[in-house]
Amino acid sequence: MAILIDATRQVLIQGITGREGIARTRLMKDYGTRVIGGVTPGRGGSEVEGIPVFDTVREAWDKVGTIDVSVIFVPAPLVKNAALEAIDAGIKLLVLVPDRVPIYDVLEITEAAERANARFIGPNTLGVLSPGKGVLGMMGGQAASARDWFFPGSVGITSRSGGMTSSTAYYLAQAGIGASTLVHVGGDAVVGTPHAEVLKLFQQDDETRLVVMFGEIGTSQEEAAADLMASGGFTKPLVVYIGGKAAKSGTRFSHAGAIIEGGRGTHEGKVARLRECGAYIADSFADIPRITREVLDKLPTVHPVSKPPKRAKTDDLHWTTAVTQIKSNEIRLRGYRVDELMGSITFSQAIYLALTGELPSATIGQLLDAIFVSSIDHGVTPPSTLAARTAASTGAPYNAAIAAGLLSINQHHGGAIEDSLRLILSALESAEAQNQSLETAAASLVVAYQNEGKRLPGFGHRVHTADPRTARLLGMADALGIAGQGVAMLRAIEAAYAELSGRRLPVNVDGAIAALLIDMKLPPELANTFFMMARLPGLVAQVHEEKTRQRPMRAIHPTDHEYDGPEAR
C-alpha cells in the first residue's frame, strides 16, 4: 500500500496545456502514474503527451471513466473555480500546486470539499510521491531524477517545505532507508491536509512503519500532530525536525505559513510539546537518517508477508476465501474490480495482487514481467521440457503433456529459486541477529557451506559462465529502485565466495530471481511457483511443436543410450 497515490489511481490534470501542466504531465506519466485525461477550457479535442484534453471535468469523467485525483496547474486566481469544478464533478482528492492562492478562496474550497467528503493537498504544494508507484504534482522534477532519488520502503514523510520533502527522502535513501509516501502538505497558512491528517493516513497504511515530519515555526500543525499522538490516534514512531529555530517573532521564515505571531507557533513550544508526546526530535536536519535508522532497528522484524492468512477452523465446513469475490455483474480480485483492472494493470501486477493481496507498483510489474520473460523457455534439454515432449509424443492431450512438464519441476530443476531465497534470507537474519555487516554474514555462510561440501543454490550454471539474464534482471532492479537487502546480500555472497575460494561462482538466474522476490516482499514458499508460471508458456510451445512437427511415439535420443544391466541369464 501507500497513501494518496499508487499505480491504480486514475489522475486528471487541470491546466494540462499550460507550461507547467505539460512539463509535469510528462513527469507523472513517465513515472508510471495513471494520467488518463486533462482539462483546459477551449482546448478540448487536443492532446498533451498522448493524453486527451477536454473542455470540462465532467466531460473528462464521462469520456475516460472514474477520476480519483485531479492535479491543478492553473494560475492562482483561477484555482478556486477549477477546484470547485472538480469537487462538483465528484473527484475526491485534489492537489493544488499553485502558490499565492487567495486565503478566502482556500476557505471556500475547504467548505466545498468538506460538504462533498473530498480532500485536497496544498495549495502551494510540490505534491505527493509514492516511490515506484506514482507521483502527483511536481515532486522529483523529472521521472528520471525521481527514480534516482527515492526508493520504496517503510518510512512516510510529511513536510511543510517542498524542497525539504525531497531532501528528507533523498538523504534517507542515501542511508539505505526507503520511503512509502512523501507528502508536501503545502507552504501556506491554511492547507487542506495538514500534518495531523497525513499522520492519520499513515497510521492506516500497513507499509508505513515510521513517519518523519519536517515541521516549521508558525501555524498549529505540529501541535495538532502532538495532540493526535497524545490521544492515541497516531501510534507509530515519529521522527521530527522543526525548521526556523533562529527566527524572531514577526519574521516570516520562507513560507507564508511559517511565521510566529504573538508567541504562538514557536520552535521551542513545538519541540517541547512533541517531545512530551513521545516524538523523536532531531536537533539538526542531518541527524534525521541516523535517528530514523536507530528507531527502525528497534522495531520488531517484519516478515516478507505482513499479515498471516486467517486459518480456517478444522471443523468449519463453511468456505471462506480472501482471493476473489463474485457477485452478480461484479467480479473483484482482492477487492479490486476485475473489469477496472483490465487494461490498467499488467498480467504480472495482477499475479502479484492475487498472490499477496496488494496491488504492486508499475515498476514491480515491470520487474516481474522481466522475470517471467527470463525463464519462459530454455531449449529442449531441461527435464520438464523432455517430460512434456515425451508425453506429447505418446498422444497425450495438451493438459496431460503440460502437466507432465510441470510435475518435473522440483528440487533439482527450478527448485534452486526457493533454496537460494532461503539461503539469502538466513544470511540476512544472521546479519541482523548478530549485528554484523552483510559482508561478514555472507563470508560466514560461504565458509559453512564449504566446510559441509554443499553447493550454494543460485550460483553457477551448467551452461553459462555469465548468464545474460542475471545481469539484465539485477540491472533493472537497480534502475527501478527495487534492489534492496536481498540483492545486496546476493552480491555479498558472490563476492565472499570469490574472495575465499579464489574463483568466481557467478550468480545464476535462479539466484537473481530469489533476491528480487525478497526485495519485492514475496514469500519464500511461493518462490518456485514463479518459475512454474514463467515456464508454462514455454511448455505449451514445446508441446505444440512436438504435436505439430514430429511423428507420434518419437524415439528420443535413439542412439544415446546403452544397456548396462546383468547379462542374459
Ligand X SMILES: CC(C)(COP(=O)(O)OP(=O)(O)OC[C@H]1O[C@@H](n2cnc3c(N)ncnc32)[C@H](O)[C@@H]1OP(=O)(O)O)[C@@H](O)C(=O)NCCC(=O)NCCS
Q: How far is CA 207 from CA 3, 130, 181, 288, 510, in A?
A: 9, 11, 9, 20, 27
Name the residue nearer to ligand X (CB basis): 45 or 309: 45
**Residues with active-site annotation:** 255
Minimum Å gap between C-beta 285 and ligand X is 17
Name the residue nearer to ligand X (CB basis): 76 or 376: 76
Minimum Å gap between C-beta 158 and ligand X is 14
Bridge partners of 93, per DSSP, are 69, 119
Which residue in 30, 99, 227, 369 binds ligand X (CB under 6 A)? Answer: 99
Which residue in 36, 126, 388, 534 binds ligand X (CB under 6 A)? Answer: 126
Q: Grid coordinates representing 483?
A: 534492489
The size of the interface with ligand X (CB under 6 A), counted in residues, is 26
The verdict on 81 binding ligand X (CB under 6 A) reads: yes
Stretch of residues binding ligand X (CB under 6 A), selected from 93-101, 365-373, 412-420, 503-511: 93-101
Within 13 A of 79's CA, how many CA atoms are on the CB side? 28
**Nearest CA to 124 among 163, 162, 95, 98?**
98
Stretch of residues binding ligand X (CB under 6 A), selected from 9-17, 291-299, 453-461, 542-550: 9-17
Which residue in 7, 8, 21, 158 binds ligand X (CB under 6 A)? Answer: 21
The verdict on 75 binding ligand X (CB under 6 A) reads: yes
Stretch of residues binding ligand X (CB under 6 A), selected from 97-105, 232-240, 246-254, 414-422: 97-105
Rounded to the nearest 10°, the torsion over CA 466, 467, 472, 475 is -50
Which parts of 494-523 interact with ligand X (CB under 6 A)?
none
Name the residue nearer to ligand X (CB basis): 139 or 409: 139
Minimum Å gap between C-beta 223 and ligand X is 23
Name the residue nearer to ligand X (CB basis): 14 or 366: 14
Query: DSSP letters along 35-54, please?
Result: EEEEE-TT-TT-EETTEEEE
Which residue in 31, 54, 61, 73 binds ligand X (CB under 6 A)? Answer: 73
**Nearest CA to 146 among 170, 175, 176, 110?**
170
Name the residue nearer to ligand X (CB basis): 127 or 156: 127
How far apart CA 406 and CA 400 sit, in angstroms, is 10
Stretch of residues binding ligand X (CB under 6 A), selected from 74-82, 293-301, 366-374, 402-410: 74-82
Bridge partners of 424, per DSSP, are none
Binding mask 185-214 for ligand X (x = CB under 6 A): --x---------------------------
Rounded to the nearest 10°, the torsion over CA 165, 211, 2, 22 is -10
Alpha-helical regions (H) of 457-526: 468-479, 485-501, 509-519
- Could you count the other beta carbons within 10 Å of the beta carbon of residue 254? 17
The verdict on 19 binding ligand X (CB under 6 A) reads: yes
Which residue in 20, 59, 227, 369 binds ligand X (CB under 6 A)? Answer: 20
How far apart CA 404 and CA 391 sit, in angstroms, is 7
Binding mask 144-163 for ligand X (x = CB under 6 A): ------------------x-
Name the residue nearer to ligand X (CB basis): 158 or 542: 158
How far apart CA 408 and CA 402 sit, in angstroms, is 10
Which parts of 317-356 interact with ligand X (CB under 6 A)?
none
**Strand order in 152-159's β-sheet?**
134-137, 127-130, 179-184, 152-159, 210-216, 238-243, 280-281
**Nearest CA to 357 among 382, 387, 322?**
322
Minimum Å gap between C-beta 56 and ligand X is 8
Minimum Å gap between C-beta 163 and ligand X is 7
Q: Note if the bond before 123 is cis, omega within 30 degrees.
A: yes
How far apart CA 516 and CA 68 sit, in angstroms, is 31
Reduce the secondary structure of 247-266 to three states and give it as a string. CCCCCECCCCCCECECCECC
Minimum Å gap between C-beta 168 and ligand X is 14
Stretch of residues binding ligand X (CB under 6 A), selected from 2-10, 124-132, 465-473, 522-530: 124-132
Name the residue nearer to ligand X (CB basis): 29 or 273: 29
Binding mask 38-67 for ligand X (x = CB under 6 A): -xxx-x------------------------
Which residue in 1, 78, 386, 540 binds ligand X (CB under 6 A)? Answer: 78
Name the residue nearer to ligand X (CB basis): 56 or 436: 56
State which H helix or E strand residue 289 sits in.
helix 288-298
How far apart CA 177 and CA 174 sit, in angstroms, is 7
Q: How far is CA 73 from CA 79, 95, 105, 256, in A?
A: 8, 9, 16, 19
Residue nearest to ligand X (CB): 18
Bridge partners of 39, per DSSP, are 14, 54
Which residue in 82, 274, 370, 473 binds ligand X (CB under 6 A)? Answer: 82
The verdict on 491 binding ligand X (CB under 6 A) reads: no
Residues that bind ligand X (CB under 6 A): 14-15, 17-21, 39-41, 43, 73-76, 78, 81-82, 97-99, 124-126, 162, 187
